[in-house]
Amino acid sequence: MNDRMNSDAKLPLIALRPACNAAYAWVALLLEAEPPLDNAALEHVLEHSALAAILADIPCIVPADPLAIDPALAAGLPRERLILRFPPAQAGAPARDRALAALRQAGFGLMAGDLPADWRTAMTVPAVKGDPTARSVLLKLLSLVTHDAESAEIEALIKRDAGLAYQLLKLVNSVAFMPGRHVENFSQALVLLGRRQLQRWLILLLFARPPGGEAAHPLLPQAALRASLLETVARLRGMTHEARDQAFLIGMFSLLDALFGQPLAEIIAPLRLSDEAADALLDGRGPFGPLLQAVKTGEQGPSSALAAALAGIGLGRADWSLALIEAARWAVKVGKEI
């Protein structure tokens, strides 16, 4: 056990968040680490097969020292999809230039200095006020799906909104979720997906098309990543399937105040959430409160506060990096389908 703890302590503490353009479309994943990754640290991150799958869909930018990276690590990766970022001062010296040339020849992408000026990494945006009637319908839908209402009642509410019904069927017919199946109506979707899976797609769609709007909400990347990460952390801590589902919903609900522009307590009051969910969302207490706080802290980048939060929930750095990569893979897939 001590050997494992010592090995874990040597691993880099990382954070992973979406980089978006001015229209809030994902353009890359930004991996943050302090200090920049050396060869051993980058090799550890690349051990996760999920990262290779992510690179097939979106580039990943990582801070690295070009003199400390073996070009052979690029073997088998999508060419120039893993982008090594380094300070501009590291260019110009002959040894650095030779190292950079070797890395590019091997297939790495290279980036010097800051991210492009029109890229965004913080997803906090002005709330979408929207249409009060549409907001009421969406909150009622949330109440129904979180309280195991009759399928016919949920279906009737969704059918009132043709755009929402279309988006739901488009999502469940995605090859990412239902390979080899074609869903033609909501009733069929409920049977094939099950109530718990359908619940999360419906909640995701609240962010995909906010009240009174037609375009995806800029909070969607953060909501998808936060919810998936909270669910993955719950799994790694040995929680039950039911608890993992609840963790996912807590991650989503934790951003409803930003989505609706209201205090969170007012939004969740009519939803009659479980005591555990309400405690986590409003006071940071209960079995899910520390998990949610750790995930929120991780969104601010690698830090001593994140290290303390992870220690508080008994999650090592290796499991944390695994959770981040798995969650990001799912969130990227969702972002492409919605």
Give per-residue pLDDT as tens, 85-127. 988 776 667 888 899 999 999 999 999 888 888 888 765 544 4
Enter the tokens of residue 73.
Answer: 């690590």
- Answer for the pair 87, 112: CB distance below 8 angstroms, yes or no: yes
Asked if residues 32 and 15 have their Cβ atoms less than 8 Å apart, the reply is yes
Single out the residue of 72, 87, 81 nearest to residue 52, CA to CA. 81
Radius of gyration of the chain (CA): 21
Average pLDDT of span 238-255: 93
132, pLDDT greater than 60: no
Collect all residues with Cβ–Cβ distance below 8 Å to 25 and sequence separation of at least 6. Answer: none
How confident is residue 140, by pLDDT bands cut at 50, 70 and 90?
Answer: confident
Query: DSSP labels for 140-185?
Result: HHHHHHTTT--HHHHHHHHHT-HHHHHHHHHHHTSTTTSTT----S
Q: Tell me what pLDDT residue 97 has.
A: 87
Residue 122 phi/psi, 5-degree rounding, is -100, 130
Q: Specify the pLDDT at position 2.
A: 44
Look at 90-104, 137-151, 177-191 and tell me which has the smallest mean pLDDT.
Answer: 177-191
pLDDT in tens, 2-15: 444 455 767 889 99
For residue 291, what pLDDT is reported?
Answer: 98
Work out the pLDDT band at 200, boundaries 50, 70, 90.
Answer: confident
User: What CA dihedral angle connects 173, 123, 327 and 119, to 10 degrees?
Assistant: 90
Residue 92's DSSP bridge partners are none
Top-confidence residue, 205 or 231? 231
Q: Which pLDDT band, with edges at 50, 70 and 90, does 257 fall under? A: confident
pLDDT bucket at 133, cuts 50 / 70 / 90: low
pTM equals 0.85
Q: What pLDDT, on the 0 to 100 scale, is given for residue 1?
A: 44
* Res 5: pLDDT: 46
Of residues 146 and 264, more confidently modeled: 264
What was the pLDDT predicted at 163?
67
- Is the peptide bond prior to 35 cis by the omega test (within 30 degrees of 0)? yes
Interatomic CA distance for residues 260 and 80, integer angstroms = 39
Please report the pLDDT score of residue 211 as a whole number.
47
Per-residue pLDDT at 292:
98
Spatial separation of the C-alpha atoms in residues 281 and 273, rounded to whole Å = 10
| Residue type for position 89 | A
Q: Which is higher by pLDDT, 335 or 15?
A: 15
| Structural tokens at position 161 | 């909104």
